[in-house]
Amino acid sequence: MSNDPFFHHPELADLITKPEDSFFRDFSITKLASILTDRGLPTGWWHSDEERNAMRQAALSEHRSEDLWVFAYGSLMWDPAIRFTEVRRARVQGYQRRFILKDIHGGRGTREAPGLMAALDRGGECEGLLFRIDREAIETETDILWRREFVGPAYFPVFVPAQMSEGTVNALTFVADYDAELIVPELSRTEQLEYLVTGSGFLGDSADYLRNIARQFQLFGIEDAEVEALYSGMNLLVK
């Protein structure tokens, strides 16, 4: 195997943030609490470090002692924060990318002006990226991954068959948790567009989140009707 993580997809090398440059590489509850306190936003709604680590250990308990594949479908595609040995284009059947995460905690929206982000939901299919983590680095890198993705309730971890050009691998991914306050599967198109236009937080604007997704998908060559429809609708509203 090549030592170049981008051996199979050299076109992705300049499109994915280096781990050392990622905001999320050293992300922690302490860092988050400081940011939210400075902005006068509510704190304490998150998982404790002990809870988060217990969820991580449970999710990985049946993973064999081999490299770990992670399937990314949203911002994790271009800013994974983890160190990986290989990246591959992939498709997952039975799950679809949906904009049903209503951000109210300050990342890209607040309770007064919610933001919107993508989650993986059941049904359809989803194209994204697979990142391969060396088995010797699983403990360190999944700790970073969990601190990025499991700040508070929103997802649950699952292993899914991910199809790439050379076959299928069992990959870890994060699916919408319908019991979480942030997951709102019945959002109307009007509400989605409103949250995209008005949502803003310490990670940036929801509108920029969608623009980045649309731009990156175009560069990656990924077609997504939902992204295209939301992007077109948002542009009509902000003109």
Active site residues per annotation: 149
What beta strand segments (E) does the chain contain?
A: 68-72, 86-105, 110-133, 155-164, 167-176, 200-201, 204-205
Q: Are 119 and 126 in contact (CB under 8 A)?
A: no
Beta bridge partners of 202: none
In this structure, the number of other CB atoms found within 10 A of the CB of residue 186 comes to 6
* Helical segments of 28-119, H only: 29-38, 49-60
CA dihedral 199, 204, 23, 9 (to 10 degrees): 100
Pairing of strands 86-105, 167-176: unpaired
Q: Sign of the CA dihedral 47, 51, 53, 54?
A: negative
Distance, in Å, from the CA atom of 121 to the CA atom of 134, rounded to the nearest integer, reads: 27
